[in-house]
Structure formats: structure tokens, C-alpha cells
Structure 1
Amino acid sequence: MTQVSLVDLIAGARAGLLVSFPTDTVPALATLPEKAGLIFAAKQRSQDKPLILMGASAEDLWPYVKGSENELKIWQEVANQHWPGALTLVLPASNRLPPQINPTDPTTIGIRVPNSAIAQTILAQTGPLATTSANFSGQPPLQKLIEIAAQFPEALTLATTELSDEITGLGVPSTVAKWTGADWQTLRSGVIQLNF
């Protein structure tokens, strides 16, 4: 069980290790996009369940998607309304995306900017990370970093002493909306209610 300081967690993430930290929804398991296989292995997760690319800002994430000028405008309007926040947008992926994030359909990518100071601090220094909830596949997301450290001893987990002023997450995964080419389709309902 490895609980580490913020500095060590950021260094570990940048070195390609598996890390865990709080977000505005549920705590994340995260790693560099090209190391996404670590998450699938740790969670015993099926390859057909893609990971989310989380970034500190929308500007960090737009290079990983591709669309027409008009589509980008629509996506940016939705992002401006709900980011940072508990909304994941599933969009057509650019060729910058490592296929390990979405092994069965590398043509799409889920992206999100969390409304969490600690998560944004980490992501601003690591760049976008492949993320998912911290739990074994099919089980409820773990809420406490101490439980995550116990269940995922291979992950660097943020020490709770680093979180004195951090608001804990909502405990509900993000809303997931997919762009169909003409409209939005809600794949998972969460805190954010979308009225498309």
C-alpha cells in the first residue's frame, strides 16, 4: 500500500506509473495514455470498456479529438457550459490518441475536465491522463483513498494528509454524452442533466 505526497504522485504519473487521486465525482485510477494497459490489468477490466482522457483544461484535450469546424464549435459550447465538471464527452478521436485507451474502438474518445482543485493540479503537471474509477470492474467505485491503496497496492495513492481542504467527490460517476455526428446521445446519466 503506497500513499505518497502530491509531488511524488505527479512524478510517478509522469514516469508512467499507475496513480490514484480524488476528482469531483469518484476517485480516479490514472496513468499516461500510452500506459493504459496498466489500468485494464489492475481493474481486471474488459477491453471493450474504454477509459476516459482527463485533462486540466479543455485546451489540453481538443488535440485528441477531430471534427468539422462546426462540430468543434458545438462541442466547445457544451464544454464551456459544463467544464470543469462531471460531464464526459465521447467524440471522434484524432490520430494523437494511443489506441490502448479504447482498444476495441480507437475511433472515439471520452474526454473530461474535473471540477477538482487537486485533480487539476495533478493534470496540469502530467498532461492528460487515461482515467477510470478506482474499483475492480463490475464493483462499486471505492470512495476512500485508504481503500484504494489497499485494493491497488501497485498504484501510488495520494496521502490523505495532502487533502485537508479538498472537498470529497460526489460519489456518482460523470454523465457520459456521445456525439452521434448530428446530435448527442446520453450513454450514462450522472449528476449533470443534459437538455439537448
Structure 2
Amino acid sequence: MTQVSIAALVAAARSGRLVSFPTDTVPALAACPTATHAIYAAKHRPADKPLILMAATPGELWPFVQGSTEEQRCWQQMAARSWPGAVTLVLPASDRIPPGLGSQARTIGLRVPQWTLTQIILQQTGPLATTSVNESNHPPLLSVAEIQDQFPDVLLSQDWPLPTVPEGQPPIPSTVMQWTGGSEWSVLRQGAARVEIL
């Protein structure tokens, strides 16, 4: 599939099509939250492996989680330190989470990326369900040619700048942090961002 303009990509995502675009970590495979079945089918991804909700602002993501006022304050403090950026926060899911996101533990991973192009797309689409572009349990694909070869039905953004990384080192996925109660956090995956847990 040829690359398309940002406007065409946004329209496709809103209509339920699978799309791909670069982020501040690895490129994303994305769909609107009600069309996540397409992601699972394309990647041959197990249904119990949850996806991440990505949005342009934290305010668009808070309705998808639930907790006490104190808990929400803790989450928002971490988000203020980590977003926009390469950090995914795993929090208790609210009843607004579509079943197709795949989380059996009633949690949801949330991220606000820093990459300008990603922000431009998300500002127009609203929150998208995302994951890396690859067959399940394979390394993330990084180039337009690789993605077009393995996922020919996925629409790609016309602009494809990737973050600058040291030569020979591919972009690194986001750091994943799960809230474990009170003000406690656990690092599930150490990725691109180093986050100090106070």
C-alpha cells in the first residue's frame, strides 16, 4: 500500500482502518478503539495480550481509568513527570474500555507520545489503540519498506521521520510502569525513558 497524506491517514483511522506512523519510540500499528480486532488479526497476536491507548493529551486518557481521588492524583503526578514521552502507564481500567483491547486483568496501558508527527495525527483522531508494527513475538519493523512488505493492507503516513539514535542501535520501545497501589509503581519493561520512582 502506498503512503498517504496525514488527512487521508486520519480519515482511515476514524473509519476503522489499520494505520501506521512513526512515534518517539518504535513505529505504531494503530486503529480506533472499536476496531482492535484488525490489529490482533494482522499481527496474529494472542487475544489476552492487551494493547496501549495513545492520545495527544492526558485529559483524553483519564476517562479510561478509574480510582479514588487520591489514586488519580498519584497517577496524574506521574503522568506530569513522564508525558509527553516514551513512558506507558498501566492503570486500573474503567468501564469505558472496549472489550477488544484485550486486557483480562482490567488494566490498561496509556501513553502520550512526544513525537510531533504522532501528536498531529492523534490530535485529529482522538485516542487510538496501538502496538508495535510486527508479527507477534517478532522484532518491531522500522522502515516503510519492511512494513509495506509484511503488512500490505496497512496505510502508512507520508512523512516518516524516525528519532535519531546511535548508529547500529534501533529505536527502543517505551518504558512500561504499572501502578501497584498507594503511591507505588513497578517497572514492567525498561525502555527508552528512565523514570525515577520516588
Task: Give TM-score scaled by structure 1 length.
Answer: 0.93
Please list every run of 5 or more consecutive structure 1 residues that lacks an aligned counterpart in the other structure. Answer: none
CA contact (8 A) 1:51 1:101 kept: yes
Across the aligned residues of Structure 1 and Structure 2, the Cα RMSD in angstroms comes to: 1.3
Deviation at residue 194 of structure 1 after TM alignment: 2.5
CA contact (8 A) 1:23 1:169 kept: no
Moved beyond 6 Å, runs of 4+: none
* 1:58-137 correspondence to structure 2 within 5 Å: 58-105=58-105, 107-137=106-136
CA contact (8 A) 1:88 1:175 kept: yes
Q: What is the aligned partner in structure 2 of residue 146 from structure 1?
A: 145
CA contact (8 A) 1:47 1:104 kept: no
CA contact (8 A) 1:22 1:169 kept: no
Deviation at residue 10 of structure 1 after TM alignment: 0.5
Superposed CA deviations along residues 138-174 of structure 1, whole A, max 9, x for unmatched, are: 1111111221122111111112xx34xx453651000
The separation in 1 between residues aligned to 2:151 and 2:162, in whole angstroms, is 23
Q: What is the aligned partner in structure 2 of residue 168 from structure 1?
A: 163
Percent of residue pairs identical: 53
Superposed CA deviations along residues 76-121 of structure 1, whole A, max 9, x for unmatched, are: 111111100000000001111101112433x110000011111111
**2:46 maps to amino acid:** S
Task: Give TM-score scaled by structure 2 length.
Answer: 0.92
> What SS does the aligned partner of 1:94 have?
coil
Please list every run of 5 or more consecutive structure 2 residues that lacks an aligned counterpart in the other structure. Answer: 166-170
* 1:6-21 correspondence to structure 2 within 5 Å: 6-21=6-21
The separation in 2 between residues aligned to 1:117 and 1:194, in whole angstroms, is 21
Deviation at residue 195 of structure 1 after TM alignment: 2.5
> What SS does the aligned partner of 1:154 have?
coil
**1:195 maps to amino acid:** E
